[in-house]
Amino acid sequence: MFSRVVLSFLLASNSVLAAKNVPDNPLYDYDVLQYIDPLIGSANGGNVFPGASLPYGMAKAVADTNSGYNQGGFAYDGSSITGFSSMHDSGTGGSPSLGNFPLFPYTHCDNDDVNGCIYPKKSRATGYVNGSVQASPGYFGLTMNSGIKVDMTVAQHTSLFRFNFPGGNASSPLILLDLTDLSDSRQDNATISVEPLTGTMTGQARFLPSFGSGSYVAYFCTDFLSAAGVRDNGIFVDSRASRGVKDLKISRGINGYPLPGGAFVRFNSPSEVLARVGLSFISTEQACLNAHNEIPYFDFDSIRQKAVALWKEKLSPIRVSRQGVNSSMLTNFYTGIYRTMINPQDYTGENPLWSSYEPYFDSFYCLWDSFRSQLPFLTIFDPLSVTRMIRSLIDTQKHLGWLPDCRMSLCKGHTQGGSNADIVLADGYVKGLNDGIDWEAGYKAVQKDAEEEPYDWSSEGRGGLISWRRLHYIPVQDFDYIGFGPMTRSISRTLEYAYDDYGIAQMAYGLNKLDDSEKYATTSTYWMNLFRRDQKSFINGTDTGFTGFFQPRFLNGTWGYQDPNTCSNIDTSNRACSLQNNAAETFESSIWEYQFFVPHDMAALITLLDGPTSFVRRLDYLHDQKITYIGNEPAFLTVFQYHYAGRPAKSTERAHFYIPGSFSPTPSGLPGNDDSGAMGSFMAMTMFGLFPNPGQDVYLISAPFFESIEIKSPLTGKTATVKTVNFDPTYKNIYIQFAMLDGMPYTRNWIDHSFFTEGKELVLFLGPTESMWGTREEDLPPSLSTSGIVLDGNLRRR
C-alpha cells in the first residue's frame, strides 16, 4: 500500500539522503547566540532569570525589581530597581529566591553628606529608562532613571558590575551593599566589614530558602576598581550612615521585616566604577578567593567573552536548518534550550554540609517539574552534566539519608508529588549514563524511597507506606503514625508512587535484581486501584459523556469523591490545589488530567478507558475544553499521548496548537512559570519532534518544526540527524507519511536513545493529511502490560 508513495518520496528526497555525512554543512553554520533572548519569560509570571549567568553557574547577576513577579530578580514589567544582586534562581513559583547582598549606586548624596543618600530598599527603589534593557548570554545591562548605566557579566562564583556615571564624572558617587535578599528573609546577626583604604566589603548572613525548610548562610567579598580612587566609606543602619564605623553586626529587626543595614563606599569623581562580587557558601575567605581566581583583573570584556564562549560551546551540539522558518521559531527554540542550563546550579566546592569528592548540584527546583523534559533533554546534548547531577543526587542521599525531591539554597525543598528523583535516576540509567555513577548506590537510594517511610515526608521520600502495602493505594484521610506530611493528594501520590516504582523496576532489571524488578513492576500497577468505573464527570452541569475516572478511596475501601474537574484550568471552585491544608487529592492538576498519568502502561489505561477511539476522544476533550493548562508541567505528556492510541498525527497537531500559540518569544510570552527551564525544554523538545516519555528509553516521534536537525552526542562524538522531505514552514505538511531510519523503512512511532548516541539518521516524509504511519499495534511505544520491561539497546554495555 505504501510502495508507490514511498517510491515518489525516495525520488524526491534523493538529494536529502545524499546530504548525509557532509561535514560542516553550511545549513547549520550560523551564530546561534543571535537567537537567544534571555528576556523571554521575564514578565507576566514566567519568572525567568534574565540576567548574566554561565551554564549552571552559581553567580547570576541581574537588576532586582520590586515587582510582584520578582522571583527571578528582574521582572520586565515597569517595576522599579531595588538593587543589583548576584545569586538567583530561574522560573520558580512561590517566594522569590536568593537575590542576596544587592548593590545600589547613587551619582552623589544630597549636600555631599552620606546621610543625604537613601539606604532602605523600599524607599530607594528607582525606575529605569525604558528601552535601555539589554540581555544576552553572560550579559545584562540597563540605565537607571538617575542616568547611571549599570551592566554586568559573570564567572562561575563571581559577578562583575560596571557602573557608568553620567556626564563623564559624577561628584562623589556612592555604592551601597545591603545585607538583604529578595524575600527579606535575613535572620539574626548578619555581619559586614568595610576595609577603610580600599572599600572592600566582606560579610555573611543567614537566609531562608524559598520553597523549603531550614536556612543557609551566604558569604560575599565585594571590592571595587575606580581610576578616581576611594573617597570614604562606612556602614549604614536603617536610614543613617557613618563614615567612622567600619564593622556592623545587625539583628533581624522587629515587625518581621529585617532592619536595613550594610556598608557604603564613596569614590572621588570617576566616570566608571567596577564592582567585583565574590560569592561562597563556605566563608568570606573563599568568596574572596573565588573573586581573585575567576576575575583577577576586573577585565569586563574578556570575562564577558569567556561567558559567551562557554555558552556557544554548550549550545553547539544542536543545530536546526533555518530554511524558510520564521526567526521567531528559532528564537523560541534556542532560548528554550538556553534556559535549560540556568538551573540546576553547580555548587561543587561550595557545599558546607558535608565533604566529598563528588559533584554537588543545587537548585533542583523542583524535580517534579524537571523530570518530565528538562533533565531528559539535557541527557541528549549535555549528558556529562546530567551524569554529574545524578552523582550529586546520589551523594546527597548518602549524606542526608534521602534523595531530594526539591532542593534549593542548600536546603530541603517541599515534596510535590512522588519521589521524583526515582524517575530522574531511572531515566539516566536506561539511557546508559555511566561515567562515575555508582548505580548500586543509586539503586539503594531509590529503593529506600519505596521501602522506608521518613518521619518527615513533606520534604523527602513517600508517605503512607503502611496503607500502600496493605491496601495497594494511598487512601484519602489515611491513618499514618510513622511519618508526617500533608495528608492530601492521595490520588496524585498513588499515581506517582506507582510510576516511581516502575522506574525502580527498570533499574532493578538492568542491575540483574530480577526479584526486585518483578516486585516493583507489580506495585507499579497500583494506580488501577483508584479507578472508579462508574464515575461520571459533569462540567457546567452537563454530562461530559465520559465514564470511569480515578477517585479518592478511604481506608475501608469505599469511595470518596472529588469532582474530576476540581483543580483543572477551568475549575471555578477555588479549591486549594497545592500543599495547603485540606488541599485536593490531586496536586496542581485535576483528576481529568491525572487520568492520563500512567506513563508506563498506556496500553492498560487505554483498555480501561474503553479502547483507543474512546481514549482519543477523551484526550481531545481534555485539550479542546482547556481542562489542561500547558503552563503547568502535568500537561506536557498529554500533548503526545495520542501516540499510544495509534494516532501520532494528533500529537503533532496538538504540538502546533500550543506552539507558538502559547509560547511567544516575548517577555510575557510564557504560559506559566518556567520552573527552572521546564517550559523551555518542553518547547524545544516539542519543536525538535522527539519528545521523551521520561524515565523510559522512549522518544515519541513527531514532525519537527524545522526542515532538518543535527544533534551531536558529546559522549560518542556521533551526530544524529532528523531530516524531513516536503517540509513546509507554514506547517500544513505536519503529518508523517513514511519514515526511514538509516536507510531502512521505519514504522514505529517512537525511537530509543541509541538514536542519539549512535548517530543515526531519521528521515520523515511529510504530507498534508494523517497517514497510516505509526498507527499499527506493533508501531506503538512499549507498555508494561504488553511488552514487559523493555530496556532497549543501551543495556548491552553491561
Ligand X SMILES: *[C@@H]1O[C@H](CO)[C@@H](O)[C@H](O)[C@H]1NC(C)=O
Helix (H, G, I), strand (E, B) or coil at 625: coil
Residue closer to ligand X by CB (options 557, 745) is 557
The amino acid at 84: F
Residue closer to ligand X by CB (options 11, 254) is 254
Check residue 326 for interaction with ligand X (CB under 6 A): yes
Residue closer to ligand X by CB (options 607, 625) is 625
Cα 662 to Cα 637: distance, rounded to the nearest angstrom:
16
Per-position DSSP letters for 461-526, written without gaps between them:
S-S-HHHHHHHSS--TT---SS-BS----HHHHHHHHHHHHHHHHHHHHHTT-HHHHHHHHHHTTG
- Would you say how long the chain is, in residues? 798
CB 162 within 8 A of CB 63: no
Residue closer to ligand X by CB (options 413, 552) is 552
Instruction: State the burial class of residue 164 (Cβ atoms within 10 Å of its Cβ: 0-12, 13-18, 19+).
Output: middle
Stretch near ligand X under the rule CB under 6 A, chosen from 101-109, 494-502, 553-561, 636-644:
553-561
Residue closer to ligand X by CB (options 622, 684) is 622
The set of cell numbers assigned to 711 is: 544533534
Residue closer to ligand X by CB (options 227, 245) is 227
Stretch near ligand X under the rule CB under 6 A, chosen from 92-100, 514-522, 539-547, 607-615:
539-547
Rg (CA), the chain: 27
We find the least distance from the C-beta atom of residue 249 to ligand X, in angstroms, to be 7
We find the least distance from the C-beta atom of residue 184 to ligand X, in angstroms, to be 17
Q: Which of 255, 558, 574, 582 binds ligand X (CB under 6 A)?
A: 558
How many C-beta atoms lie closer than 10 Å to residue 747's C-beta? 15
Stretch near ligand X under the rule CB under 6 A, chosen from 105-113, 269-277, 683-691, 748-756:
269-277
Q: Which of 10, 539, 715, 790 binds ligand X (CB under 6 A)?
A: 539
Stretch near ligand X under the rule CB under 6 A, chosen from 385-393, 462-470, 554-562, 596-604:
554-562
Cα 295 to Cα 531: distance, rounded to the nearest angstrom:
59
Please name the residues in contact with 744: beta carbons below 8 A apart, sequence gap of 6 or more.
none
We find the least distance from the C-beta atom of residue 136 to ligand X, in angstroms, to be 16
We find the least distance from the C-beta atom of residue 45 to ligand X, in angstroms, to be 18
Residue closer to ligand X by CB (options 130, 239) is 130
Q: Please, which of residues 182-211 interact with ligand X by CB under 6 A?
A: 188-189
Residue closer to ligand X by CB (options 227, 384) is 227
How many C-beta atoms lie closer than 10 Å to residue 49's C-beta? 29
Check residue 625 for interaction with ligand X (CB under 6 A): yes
Cα 191 to Cα 203: distance, rounded to the nearest angstrom:
5
We find the least distance from the C-beta atom of residue 694 to ligand X, in angstroms, to be 29
Q: Which of 6, 10, 17, 228 binds ligand X (CB under 6 A)?
A: 228
We find the least distance from the C-beta atom of residue 269 to ligand X, in angstroms, to be 5
Residue closer to ligand X by CB (options 172, 392) is 172
Binding mask 73-92 for ligand X (x = CB under 6 A): -----x--------------
What is the SS3 string spanning 111-150?
HHCHHHCCCCHHHHCECECCCCCEEECCEEEEEECCCCEE
Helix (H, G, I), strand (E, B) or coil at 152: strand
Helix (H, G, I), strand (E, B) or coil at 713: coil
Residue closer to ligand X by CB (options 327, 613) is 327
Q: Which of 8, 34, 123, 130 binds ligand X (CB under 6 A)?
A: 130
We find the least distance from the C-beta atom of residue 729 to ligand X, in angstroms, to be 9
CB 50 within 8 A of CB 75: no
Residue closer to ligand X by CB (options 568, 737) is 568
Binding mask 485-514 for ligand X (x = CB under 6 A): ------------------------------
Q: Which of 15, 111, 540, 574 binds ligand X (CB under 6 A)?
A: 540
Please state at what angle helix 514-523 crosses helix 439-451, rounded to 10 degrees: 40
We find the least distance from the C-beta atom of residue 245 to ligand X, in angstroms, to be 17
Check residue 131 for interaction with ligand X (CB under 6 A): yes
Q: Which of 15, 512, 556, 572 binds ligand X (CB under 6 A)?
A: 556
Residue closer to ligand X by CB (options 189, 305) is 189
Stretch near ligand X under the rule CB under 6 A, chosen from 28-36, 111-119, 538-546, 733-741:
538-546
Check residue 259 for interaction with ligand X (CB under 6 A): no
Stretch near ligand X under the rule CB under 6 A, chosen from 121-129, 146-154, 263-271, 745-753:
263-271
Count of residues engaged in binding ligand X, rule: CB under 6 A: 22
Q: Is 695 left (phi over 0), alpha (psi -120 to 50) or beta?
A: left
Q: Please, which of residues 152-171 interact with ligand X by CB under 6 A?
A: 168-169
We find the least distance from the C-beta atom of residue 167 to ligand X, in angstroms, to be 8
Residue closer to ligand X by CB (options 269, 607) is 269
Cα 418 to Cα 135: distance, rounded to the nearest angstrom:
37
Check residue 328 for interaction with ligand X (CB under 6 A): yes
Per-position DSSP letters for 371-422, written without gaps between them:
TTTHHHHHHHH-HHHHHHHHHHHHHHHHHHSS-BSSEETTEEBPP-SS-THH
We find the least distance from the C-beta atom of residue 248 to ligand X, in angstroms, to be 13
Work out whether the CA dihedral 350, 351, 352, 355 comes out positive or negative.
negative
Q: What value, to the nearest 5°, has the Cα angle with vertex 725 and ends 723 and 729? A: 90
CB 491 within 8 A of CB 550: yes
β-sheet bridge partners, residue 712:
719
We find the least distance from the C-beta atom of residue 640 to ligand X, in angstroms, to be 23
CB 644 within 8 A of CB 750: no
Q: Which of 269, 547, 726, 747 binds ligand X (CB under 6 A)?
A: 269
Residue closer to ligand X by CB (options 523, 565) is 565
Stretch near ligand X under the rule CB under 6 A, chosen from 292-300, 550-558, 630-638, 698-706:
550-558
We find the least distance from the C-beta atom of residue 174 to ligand X, in angstroms, to be 16
How many C-beta atoms lie closer than 10 Å to residue 439's C-beta? 18
We find the least distance from the C-beta atom of residue 78 to ligand X, in angstroms, to be 5
**CA nearest to 209, candidates 187, 185, 191:** 185
Q: Please, which of residues 658-677 interact with ligand X by CB under 6 A?
A: 660
Check residue 33 for interaction with ligand X (CB under 6 A): no
Residue closer to ligand X by CB (options 115, 328) is 328
We find the least distance from the C-beta atom of residue 455 to ligand X, in angstroms, to be 25
Compute the 3-state secondary structure of the chain and give helix, strand, coil in percent, each to the nearest 5.
Answer: 30, 20, 50
Check residue 572 for interaction with ligand X (CB under 6 A): no
Binding mask 584-623 for ligand X (x = CB under 6 A): ----------------------------------------
Furthest-apart CA atoms within the chain: distance in Å: 90
Q: Please, which of residues 335-364 interact with ligand X by CB under 6 A?
A: none
Cα 474 to Cα 538: distance, rounded to the nearest angstrom:
25
Cα 199 to Cα 222: distance, rounded to the nearest angstrom:
9
Core vs surface per residue 135-161: b (16+ CB within 10 A) or e: bbbbbbbbbbebebbbbbbbbbbbbbb
Residue ranges binding ligand X (CB under 6 A)? 78, 130-131, 168-169, 188-189, 227-228, 269-271, 326, 328, 539-540, 542, 554, 556, 558, 625, 660
